Structure 1
Amino acid sequence: MRQLFFLSIFLLVLFGCKKAEAISEEAYAIQTVQMPAKAENVAYDKKADPSSPQPPPPPRIDQQIEQKIIKEATLKFETDNLESSFSQIQKAVSASKARIINDSEGKDFATVFRNLTIKVPSQNFDRFINDVSKGVSYFEVKNISAEDVTEQYIDLTSRLKTKKKLEERYLEILKKANKVSEILEIEEQISTIREEIEAKEGQLKYLESRVSESTVTIEFYKTIPEKEGVKISYGSKLWNAVKSGFYTLSDLLISLLSAWPFVILFVVLAYFIRKRFKRRKKE
């Protein structure tokens, strides 16, 4: 009995060692096999394991559209010296790389004035207004406006691209056309589209020119001082009235002398008319 007991224990130990050895060999084989890394598995593992590092998000592309602003200004102020104010404006024009496109001056019953229309690069608009405003105590008129035409600019650009693509399609169709009637019809369509493209391009250029250059209108004037402190006597007023009447009479005589052919013709006509009336009375 004792021998059978030791024999059974020996067999159990022997089978246990073989099983442990088989398990260790299987574990070693599993560890040495590398599974192919697939994108799907990686994604799945990363979702399953929140502690794993996440890949950087794709760069976000922001399409920033540059604003299209039309700036305009109207300025009016009084000055003691027109030439000095004009010289200051000229310096501001030169510093801001602007240009004077209109310059007019005049005089009314109480003031001497000067009007300027100036085109200023939009990026120098604020600097120009500040330079002109130096030394001005107050403005009678100071109106500055800014109109956002970005939407209009985008709309024109989009329509222009669409028309150009349509023109390209018609040109491709024209290459494949065989009949004269088809060719003429397609050419007519291309001509119409070309006119629309040129019109859109003209509108776009005009809009760009207004955006790139701001318009500034400046009016500055000087008040004419009234003559005071000189009192005229009554006799002087009468003498001035006599002289004024004499000058008026002289002007009238000169006017009559300049019209002497008409005077002679009138005299001749009056003479013949009078002579004819005398003959009728005698008869």
Structure 2
Amino acid sequence: MRYIFFLFLFFSVLSGCSKHEAPNEDQAISISAVKLPAKKYESGGADKNLEAPSPKIEQKIIKEASLRFETNDLEDTFNKIKTAVTANKGNILIDSEGKDYNSVFRNLTVKVPSQNFDNFINAISKGVSFFERKDISSEDVTEEYIDLTSRLKNKRKLEERYLQILQKATKISEILEIEKQISIIREEIEAKEGQLKYLESRVSESTVTIEFYKTIAEKEGIKISYGSKIWTAIKSGFFSLSDFLISIISIWPFIILFCVLAYFIRKRFKRKKQ
């Protein structure tokens, strides 16, 4: 009986030790639920190999407008437009004027900073009762801009690699081939840079074409048109006569030959009659 009691006591002690050593499920779950703090990007230290987030590219919009309207005073309208151009830091690129059968007109092509586009359109629209044409367009070229920027970046990286290879090249044939590739890549880089600059210039400055005109009175239009027709007819008749005389002078040998032949033929007919 004593041995049986000692064996029972021994197994009881072992089972109690095992209960204290094994963690329960709640403890395991609480340990696994602990989260480490997220790493932040730093310029130095242990995180220096992490890439910085790419900067967000601003939306690229090309704005253009085309306007046509009638006015009672061409000069006054032009002065108002010129004031609006100056106030919005723009430039007049083209200024042309003319006259047709029933109107006198003036056409302007203006470049204005894109941020002042709406203010400029509102300024020149004041006092206009009706627009015969008012076309305003906006073109989103952000995707094209990103594509060009990415391609340009890749071309520059490729050029750097070829330059590194060129420094290690020893054979003349290798050097010539690498320099040829570098020349091709540089031409492509310059082309991409030109496209990017052109795109940026269109985004930064908006183009506005303005056509305004004044209607001429019907009698004045007929009078001007009739006098113009008379003067045109006189000039046309003079030039036609000049052309006729010049053409006669240019064929004088044939005229002389014709006259000689006509003389002999006539003389021969006279002899036959006699």
Change (3 A) 1:57 1:133: farther
Q: Deviations over 1:89-137 (max 9, x none)?
A: 1111111111111111111111111111111111111111111101100
Aligned pair count?
Answer: 216
CA distance in 1, matches of 2:187, 2:243: 66
CA distance in 1, matches of 2:122, 2:142: 26
Change (3 A) 1:78 1:64: same
Please state if 1:178 is matched with 2:166.
no
CA distance in 1, matches of 2:95, 2:247: 47
Please state if 1:162 is matched with 2:154.
yes
Query: Which among 75, 91, 101 is matched to residue 83 of structure 2?
Result: 91
Q: CA deviation at 1:225?
A: 1.1
Change (3 A) 1:260 1:152: closer
State the TM-score, normalized to the length of structure 2.
0.69
Please state if 1:140 is matched with 2:132.
yes
Change (3 A) 1:187 1:89: same
Q: Deviations over 1:205-261 (max 9, x none)?
A: 000010111000001111111129xxxxxxxxxxxxxxx9xx98xx67x93798389
CA distance in 1, matches of 2:168, 2:56: 41
Change (3 A) 1:61 1:179: closer
Unaligned ranges ≥5, structure 2: 1-29, 42-51, 221-229
Larger radius of gyration: 1
Q: CA deviation at 1:149?
A: 0.6
Give the alignment's Cα RMSD to 1 decimal: 3.5
Which residue does the alignment assign to 2:20? none
Unaligned ranges ≥5, structure 1: 1-42, 49-53, 229-243
Change (3 A) 1:169 1:135: same
Which residue does the alignment assign to 1:272? 260
Q: Indicate the larger mover: 153-162 or 55-64.
A: 55-64
Identical residues among aligned pairs (%): 61
State the TM-score, normalized to the length of structure 1.
0.67
Q: Deviations over 1:144-171 (max 9, x none)?
A: 0011111111111111111101100110
Change (3 A) 1:269 1:261: farther
The amino acid across from 1:143 in the alignment is: D
The amino acid across from 1:182 in the alignment is: E
Q: CA deviation at 1:58?
A: 5.8
Change (3 A) 1:276 1:225: same
